[in-house]
Amino acid sequence: MIDMLAKLAIAAAIAYGCWTVIEIIILARFARNGPAGPVSGPEALKGRSAVVARPFEELDREMGLVGFVRVMGETWRARLIGSPARPPSVGDEVRIVDRDGLTVSVEVSERA
């Protein structure tokens, strides 16, 4: 009986040790990557890359150049920030800098 209890105690200690090592590895990997950014809500779009889906054109002086971009599988109305030499064309990459309701503000991506 004592022999069986000893074996059970050893098996439990080994299982606990393995679980502790696995937990340390997972926590170390999470700490290295840092906390995840927002995945939903207004802040989730800021800083993301988007692709121009419809050309930018001037609708009125207040809004400036307005077009449509695709980001995360959705199409958003976009207002172009700044004064690039030429507005981005369909397929060009832009970066989202802000969101106001259903309109995102974008700037020409440095990679474009």
Render pLDDT for 44-95 as a digit per residue (tens, 0 to 9).
Answer: 889 999 999 999 998 877 778 999 999 989 999 999 998 888 889 999 999 9
Q: Are 49 and 109 in contact (CB under 8 A)?
A: yes
Give the tokens for residue 92: 């060009």
- Distance, in Å, from the CA atom of 48 to the CA atom of 69, rounded to the nearest integer, reads 12
pLDDT at 4: 85
Q: CA-to-CA distance for 78 and 106, rounded, in angstroms? A: 6
- Domain 42-108 fold: OB fold (Dihydrolipoamide Acetyltransferase, E2P) (2.40.50)
Residue ranges of domains in the chain = 1-35, 42-108
